[in-house]
């Protein structure tokens, strides 16, 4: 009986902790395949694929073979004003 009571109390405490933590969490920006991104003042780079919910594989220059192409969303920023340039093929 005591075990059931303590497990119920700890479960409700965990739920309260989660609710408080969720209030402070920021939602990650929404990126799609083909979006242009600038990686910390470098780039812009196109998204090749979504690896995980918060990780993206970028199309990096061939001379950057030593750099892993998968980046966490916290390291990426949307490229401003370049979306139309990529879709028209004018940006290199």
The rounded distance, in Å, linking the Cα atoms of 29 and 75 is: 11
Q: 69: which DSSP letter?
A: S
Asked whether the beta carbons of 28 and 54 are under 8 A apart, the reply is: yes
**β-sheet with 42-52: strand ranges across:** 70-72, 55-59, 42-52, 36-39, 77-78
Is the pTM value of this prediction over 0.85? no
Q: Are 70 and 54 in contact (CB under 8 A)?
A: no
Residue 82: phi and psi, rounded to 5, are -115, -5
Whether residue 84 lies inside any domain: the answer is yes
Residue 72 lies in a domain: yes
pLDDT in tens, 76-89: 888 776 554 444 44
> What are the structure tokens assigned to 69, written together?
């192409």
Handedness of CA 59, 63, 69, 71 (dihedral sign): negative
Q: What is the mean pLDDT of residues 4-14?
A: 69
Q: Is residue 15 part of a domain?
A: no
Q: What is the mean pLDDT of residues 34-51?
A: 79
In a domain, 45, yes or no: yes
The answer to whether position 71 is within a domain reads: yes
């Amino acid at each position: 009986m005591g075990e059931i009571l303590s497990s119920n109390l700890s479960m409700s405490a965990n739920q309260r902790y989660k609710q408080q933590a969720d209030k402070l969490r920021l939602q990650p920006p929404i990126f799609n395949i083909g979006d242009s991104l600038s990686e910390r003042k470098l780039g812009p780079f196109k998204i090749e694929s979504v690896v995980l919910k918060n990780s993206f594989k970028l199309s990096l220059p061939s001379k950057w073979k030593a750099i892993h192409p998968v980046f966490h969303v916290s390291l990426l920023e949307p490229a401003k004003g370049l979306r139309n340039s990529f879709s028209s093929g004018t940006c290199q």
